[in-house]
Amino acid sequence: MPDHAADTIAAIASAPGAAGVGVVRVSGPAVPTIAQTLLGRAAQPRHAHFTAFRDAAGELIDRGLLLHFPAPASYTGEHVLELQGHGSAVLLDLLLRRCCELGARLARPGEFTERAFLNGKLDLAQAEAVADLIAAHSQAGARAALQSMEGVFSRKIDVLLQALIALRVHIEAAIDFPEEEIDFLADPAITSQLESVRTELTELLIEAQRGLRLNDGLRVAIIGRPNAGKSSLLNALAGSDRAIVNATAGTTRDVLRESLSLDGIALELADTAGLRDTDDEVEREGVRRAHGELQRADVALLVTDADLANADLAFFTALPANVERIVLINKIDRDNLAPHGEQRDHAHWLWASAKTGEGLDPLRNHLKHLAGAGSGEGAFSARRRHVLALQQVAIHLDQAAAVLTAARAGELAAEELRHAQRVLGEITGSYSSDDLLGAIFSSFCIGK
């Protein structure tokens, strides 16, 4: 871990090339001196000073605003200086160099937010939300990232953590009185406490999965036999001729991806090769990739037609349980069928035509719904590592419940709960390795 308090960092904090205002941000112990030198007197805390920024020789670099946020009431928790000048990359660079001459060094990507985390201004999930907010590619995603940055997700994790700790205390107390342990552990209060933590976790996991979709977009894998109309559907949804539509079976040999935004919701569509046994070397590779695509998808969209639909449900075999299923009966124009929808066989069925576009709006709406559209005010963003951690916590809780019920093994249950607590703590960073922090903050942009 770098000694984050010892030095002062500086970076251009506004997007290069942006018209209007440009910002150089500085954080660390040298800030009061840098501010004093630039301003010619001590800066007033949180006051916008309009001033001339000059280089060492007294030459004018730019004119703009100087703001000093003394520690600890700042973004990083350290002394922070913001210099707002004209949004010229050249001038901003000169201003940045001037700050470096006066004692700052160039900041690494994410270093401001890393310092905010290390100084307890943000927890890890909030810090990640800062990066997600900047990278958001949909309105719903940006709103959700803002919620996480405000601590909505972190507070839910904390509630769960407290419940878990209470449960551990209960069980560990029972272990400390071995002669009464069996009775203690048989206490229905412990089981019901464990069950209620498990229920809370399930709810949080569902919300976090939705948060992941809001953040990353919904991953939709389009599957089905060759010639079912997968490429045509991708084209119809994407509104372009990105995939090659061909009347000869087996043309879509690779996985084609298309990102699109449906009313501010991001979708990543992957058109996979028809999942059939094949002798063709190239097509076999496509089929292998299609299987891989399904493992990482949120939604499996099976394209079929009225005659083959039931047989094609076999495509869903070996699909992970948490993948949403849609059956699209395509080519209703050819078969003279009416567009409609229904729910059955754990799937959402829709009748449509990729060729005429008939029946595709209900499909778009269903995809938007699955992506978390309209999930309301409280929806927060999450990352894959958060969802994986929550799934891991679920495994530990189930294991704890199993050893308690089957063997009344208090020690083993307590051990599982200890693991659960550690994994949960990794989400907000109360337990985190330097490697994890390095990986998270290095993916930020410079100046944040």
Q: Where on the chain is the footprint of ligand GDP (CB under 6 A)?
A: 224, 226-232, 245-247, 251-252, 330-331, 333-334, 353-355
Q: Are 307 and 222 in contact (CB under 8 A)?
A: no
Q: Considering the complex, what minimum distance in angstroms separates the CB of residue 332 from ligand GDP?
A: 7
Nearer to ligand GDP, 35 or 301 (CB): 301
Nearer to ligand GDP, 237 or 390 (CB): 237
Distance CA 413, CA 417 (A): 6
Distances (CA, A) of 23 to 10, 18, 130: 11, 11, 18
Distance CA 175, CA 167 (A): 13
Closest-CB residue for ligand GDP? Answer: 229
Nearer to ligand GDP, 19 or 247 (CB): 247
Nearer to ligand GDP, 209 or 330 (CB): 330
Q: Considering the complex, what minimum distance in angstroms separates the CB of residue 345 from ligand GDP?
A: 21
Nearer to ligand GDP, 359 or 447 (CB): 359
Q: Considering the complex, what minimum distance in angstroms separates the CB of residue 335 from ligand GDP?
A: 8
Nearer to ligand GDP, 254 or 398 (CB): 254
Q: Considering the complex, what minimum distance in angstroms separates the CB of residue 344 from ligand GDP?
A: 22
3-state per-residue secondary structure call for 210-273: HHHHHHHCEEEEEECCCCCCHHHHHHHHHCCCCCCCCCCCCCCCCCEEEEEEECCEEEEEEECC
Sign of CA dihedral 264, 268, 274, 277: negative
Structure tokens at 325: 């299923």
Q: Considering the complex, what minimum distance in angstroms separates the CB of residue 308 from ligand GDP?
A: 12
Q: Considering the complex, what minimum distance in angstroms separates the CB of residue 429 from ligand GDP?
A: 45
Distance CA 267, CA 288 (A): 23
Q: Are 87 and 21 in contact (CB under 8 A)?
A: yes
| φ/ψ of residue 54, rounded to 5 | -120, 155
